Every structure is written in structure tokens, then in C-alpha cells.
């Protein structure tokens, strides 16, 4: 666990796997499924981060659905400076806003190509990056 500026343990840089609204999201990723919340009342996708009530109609009922994992790049950047030691050996690295085909947007990384090859509007597809405690959805250029 990393430390904050006052030397206290911090989860900075890591997901909160036990956040109640998001638990199913992280659990499905462990099984290599990218999921999203669909409102049981208005049938629209919630988007991210996960939350208790539908952002469109405030219904408290939803179901988790498995997504195609396909999407398009809304915008992309390249970090040339690491704000966290765990990224020091990765600069320059891509971070992208990925608009998923079924609705909803994620912050993620496009991997499998150089940062300068990533373009706005580019079609991408999900890949699952397993780490010891959790699995992160990342994206690669669509085949």
C-alpha cells in the first residue's frame, strides 16, 4: 500500500473494490466480463461510475448487463510525467475516454499501440488486464 504526503497508508491509484454500488462491476471483471447497469424502469444505461438510482429517472431498480466491450475514443492524452510511482516506468503512456457502444464512458488505457497512434473516434475493444487483487478493463484498437 502506498503512502500519502503525510506518510499515512492510502489506496491512491487503486480501485475501491468494496464500494457497494460498484462491487458487481469489479466481480464481473474478474470473470472477464465488462458490465454496466441498465435501468429496470426506463431501460436506459446508467453510465459510470455505478450508482444506486438511475441517473435518467431516479428509479432504484436496475440490472447488470454484459456489454460487447466495443467503443470509440472520445479523447486521448499521453502522460509524460508520472504522478504516482507505479507509473514511473510507463511514461509516456496513453489515457483515453472510451465511449462504449451500449452507452457509458470509462477512463482507460489504449494498449497495443503507441500513444501517438490513438485518435479521436477510433474504434476500440476491451481487453482484461489481471492484477493480483482486481482486473482492469483496458482497450486495444478494434480488429
For residue 47, what is its C-alpha cell? 453510465
Residue choice 108, 124, 126, 127 for contact with another protein (CB under 8 A): 108
- Residue 89 as a binder of another protein (CB under 8 A): the answer is no
Q: Segment contacting another protein (CB under 8 A): 8-16, 34-42, 61-69?
A: 8-16
Site track for another protein across 69-88, x = CB under 8 A: -----xxxxxxxxxxx--x-
- Residue 47 as a binder of another protein (CB under 8 A): the answer is yes
Minimum CB distance to another protein, residue 78 (Å): 4
Site track for another protein across 24-43, x = CB under 8 A: --------------------
Answer whether 137's CB lies under 8 Å from 126's CB.
Answer: yes
Tell me phi and psi for residue 2, to 5 degrees.
-80, 170
Q: Which residue has the cell 482497450?
A: 139
Long-range contacts of 48-57 (CB under 8 A, 24+ apart): 48/104, 48/105, 48/106, 49/21, 49/22, 50/19, 50/21, 50/22, 50/24, 50/25, 51/21, 52/21
Measure the CA–CA gap between 31 and 14, rounded to whole angstroms: 19
Chain residues binding another protein by CB under 8 A are 4-5, 11-16, 19, 47-49, 55, 74-84, 87, 90, 92-93, 95, 97, 104-109, 115, 119-121, 136, 138
Amino acid at each position: 500500500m502506498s503512502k500519502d504526503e503525510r506518510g499515512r497508508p492510502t489506496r491512491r491509484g487503486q480501485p475501491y473494490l468494496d464500494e457497494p454500488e460498484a462491487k458487481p462491476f469489479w466481480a464481473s471483471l474478474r470473470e472477464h466480463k465488462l458490465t454496466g447497469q441498465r435501468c429496470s424502469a426506463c431501460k436506459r444505461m446508467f453510465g459510470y461510475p455505478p450508482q444506486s438510482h438511475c441517473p435518467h429517472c431516479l428509479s432504484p431498480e436496475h440490472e447488470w448487463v454484459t456489454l460487447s466491450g466495443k467503443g470509440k475514443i472520445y479523447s486521448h492524452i499521453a502522460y509524460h510525467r508520472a504522478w504516482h510511482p507505479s507509473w514511473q516506468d510507463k511514461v509516456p503512456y496513453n489515457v483515453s475516454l472510451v465511449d462504449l457502444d451500449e452507452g457509458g464512458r470509462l477512463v482507460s488505457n489504449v494498449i497495443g499501440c503507441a500513444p501517438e497512434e490513438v485518435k479521436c473516434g477510433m474504434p476500440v475493444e476491451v481487453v482484461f488486464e489481471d492484477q493480483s487483487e482486481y482486473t482492469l478493463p483496458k482497450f486495444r484498437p478494434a480488429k
